[in-house]
A and B are shown apart, each in its own frame.
Chain A
Amino acid sequence: MASYYSQTRNTELSTLKFIEDNLAIDWSGVNIVKSWGQMDKVANPVVCVSLTDTNYNRTELGNTTYRNDYVFTIDIFATSDGMRIDLSDWLMRTINSGWTYYEVSQSAPKSRTLTYTAAGRCRIDSILDNNKVELGKVGDIKDKYHQSIVIVVTVGT
């Protein structure tokens, strides 16, 4: 029996798939991960995309359904300052017009094969942060070219 993921998980996977697919076309040798733990296991340059928060908003007054906001943090660890700027600029331009929202399902509970079915569109609601991270003396050399991007994403038709 197939199992279906929640909208939150679908949004995370759809976003990851979109960035991963486009990275493979436009860049070479850039790793992509979805958790901080995985990030440390791969070498720079690496892009870490993770869904950090979900805000539950009412669709309208008196309505019991939610229109969620998804807060994504995208951390870019580049190998040079120029690459950090280029990669973050490329990313912002790529995600600017939105991407396909997929409903993701598994054919069996333990199956690793995921089925993606297009079911809407993810759009950027706002960009909360897009800055170079300056950690000062406490930071490591690997964090020297670190860019942090925080975006709010909504899902619609």
Chain B
Amino acid sequence: MIRYKFDSRNKLNNFVKDIKKEVDLAKLKLVSESKNMAKMSGQWMARRVTLKTKRKGATGELAAALKVNATFHLTTRGGFVISVGKKSNLPIYWAMINYGGRVSPKFVYGFWNDSVDGKSDYSKRGGQGKGTFEASKNGWMMTPRSPIKGFHYIAYAYSRMRQYMKTIKITKIGKK
């Protein structure tokens, strides 16, 4: 008859401690990885916004806000969620730029500021100017005609991150 004897003097305690250390390390890694992923997601979104913006002289407010406020969370089902952050930290038009839509048909006074030599150019009315829109009582009465086409920057970042996540898995398997 073969009997096994287990000696648990301090060793069991060490084993539990080691496991705990491993779990803590894994948790730490997850947080840092999540931060990296959030940063990457924000960069993908900002890149999409920047590339799709046609008019010169854009403020870059949305792209900058996305870089700072983007979050990334792993879900229990093995997926992930990308969020653009709190509404209070984003420009009010973030949803319009993402999904697209029609702006209110009420006219506004303003002009396309081409900013020639650092001075505002009031002469460009309607779609003639190529700069950014500037609301001004001294401008022209302008009515939006065409709907804004959505950039879908959230979906774009999500699809790019999916590709990236696949790459990570392959690398990890390769290392083992």
Footprint of B on A, CB under 8 Å? 36-37, 39-40, 52-53, 55, 57, 61, 69, 71, 73, 75, 126, 128-129, 133-140, 142-143, 146, 148, 150, 152
Contact count band on B: 20 to 34
Asked if B152 is at the interface of the complex by the 8 Å CB criterion, the answer is yes
When C-beta atoms are compared, the residue in chain A nearest to B155 turns out to be: A150
The reply to whether B155 and A36 form a contact with Cβ atoms under 8 Å apart is no
Q: Which residue of A lies closest to B157 (CB)?
A: A128
16 interchain pairs, CB-CB under 8 A: A36-B147, A40-B147, A53-B156, A55-B163, A69-B159, A75-B150, A128-B159, A129-B155, A136-B92, A136-B95, A138-B103, A139-B96, A139-B103, A143-B101, A146-B101, A150-B152
A39-B147 contact, Cβ under 8 Å, with A133-B95, A139-B96? yes
Contact B101 A135 (CB under 8 A): yes
B88-110 toward A: CB 8 Å interface, digit per residue (1/0)? 00001101100111111100000
Q: Taking the complex as formed, is B158 at the interface, i.e. its CB lies under 8 A from any CB of chain A? A: yes
| With A150-B152, A150-B155, A152-B159 as contacts: A140 and B92 at CB distance below 8 Å | no
B13 within 8 A of A: no
Q: Are B93 and A138 in contact (CB under 8 A)?
A: yes
**Bound Cα distance from A128 to B95, whole angstroms:** 16
Name B105's contact: one of A69, A73, A140, A148 (CB within 8 Å). Answer: A140
Tell me the minimal C-beta distance from B92 to chain A in angstroms: 6
| Nearest-CB residue, chain B, relative to A57 | B163
Shortest CB distance B160–A (Å) = 8
